[in-house]
Amino acid sequence: MEIKKRNFQIHADRMANMPRTNVKHGNFHHSAGNPMGTAAGINRWHIDGRGWAGIGYHFVIDAEGTIYQGRDLTKEGVHAGRPANGNSWAICLLGNFENYAPTDEQYAASQWLWDHLNKIKKITPEEHRDHMNTACPGKYFDLKEATKPLPKEPELFYRVVTGSFGEKENAERRVRELDKAGFQSFITTFKK
Ligand SMILES: [Zn+2]
């Protein structure tokens, strides 16, 4: 997965800086009350409707599981008041989770993003409603699912193969050659 670069204008110079050392949490939202169903639309609404310097969230995830960059990680968001704005990255999933659940694709993207952010800075999950009298991110939103750890990559061994032989003698000859060259080697079999 990847984060889609911003394709809209924000006024980063008017945003407060947020040093990484201040960041402790990731704060989840849904877009419910927002009439604009895209990251660019939310940005427009937050600038024109709210008078902010740009989109209030750091990330937006749509129903197809596409992750859009909002604010830079180095800037404070505008999403859950104080102290949350100054110590968290804001993640907004598009939809109204008072009425329905996020899609599987949205959860999968959220899990990837959560893993990605935690590689940058260890953070703990929060919701908008932890800080304010709001339903956000909605009763059908499952924070555990949204931040579920990704399956661990299997550990791999790297095997050097120098050839496969139809005749056993030819395989044995290769082993002798390799042994002579100082590479300890052995024969394994597999079915054709
Ligand atoms: Zn919210």
- Which domains does the chain show, CATH number per domain? 3-146 (3.40.80.10), 157-192 (no CATH)
Q: Which pLDDT belongs to residue 192? A: 80
Q: Which pLDDT belongs to residue 35? A: 60
pLDDT in tens, 141-162: 999 999 999 988 888 888 888 8
**Residue 103 DSSP SS3:** coil
Q: How far is the CA of 128 from the centre of ligand 1 (A)?
A: 5
Q: Which residues surround ligand 1, an ion (CB under 5 A)?
A: 29, 128, 136
pTM over 0.85: no
**Residue 143 DSSP SS3:** helix
The residue with greater pLDDT, 11 or 155, is 11
Q: How far is the CA of 21 from the centre of ligand 1 (A)?
A: 23
Kind of pairing between the strands at 3-4 and 124-127: unpaired
**Residue 67 DSSP SS3:** strand
Name the nearest CA neighbour of 97 among 127, 67, 126. Answer: 127
pLDDT in tens, 84-134: 999 999 999 999 999 999 999 999 999 999 999 999 999 999 999 999 999
Q: How far is the CA of 74 from the centre of ligand 1 (A)?
A: 20
pLDDT in tens, 42-78: 999 999 999 999 999 999 999 999 999 999 999 999 9
